[in-house]
Structure 1
């Protein structure tokens, strides 16, 4: 899943540690999400989007290869 978390987190002037604490996870989890090594649960994704002040679909999005296949 593609995400723009790093850009939105930095524009909100928030550290990984602060965002993790405010959204209920660790700074390591935030880093893994930003590097697209970990896909958060819907609950965590919603909390993260709320904390950076952006809609969920602007922070996280599915990449589509073709009309029949999601990456």
Structure 2
């Protein structure tokens, strides 16, 4: 799933470990999210969105992901 986690994190000069600590996951989880190799639970997506003061929809490119999914059906 496409997301903007790295973009938001970099804009705040935050390390992967700092973000991981704020949302109570390992830095490997953040790395996997940023590489788009892992789809987070709804609760984790929400926690990350709260850290960046944005919505889950914006952080995880919901409209674009839905469009791509429909095109691949």
Q: TM-score range by the shorter chain?
A: 0.7 to 0.9
Superimposed CA distance per residue, residues 24-43 of structure 1 (whole angstroms, 9 cap, x where no aligned partner): 10111001001000000000
Q: Which runs of 5 or more structure 1 residues have no equivalent in the other structure?
A: none
Q: Is the helix fraction higher in 1 or 2?
A: 2
Verify: 1:65 aligned to 2:68, yes or no: yes
Deviating beyond 3 angstroms after TM superposition, the runs of 4 or more aligned structure 1 residues are none
Q: What is the TM-score normalised by the length of structure 2? A: 0.83
Q: Which runs of 5 or more structure 2 residues have no equivalent in the other structure?
A: none
Q: What is the TM-score normalised by the length of structure 1? A: 0.85
Q: How many residues align?
A: 69
Q: Is the strand fraction higher in 1 or 2?
A: 1
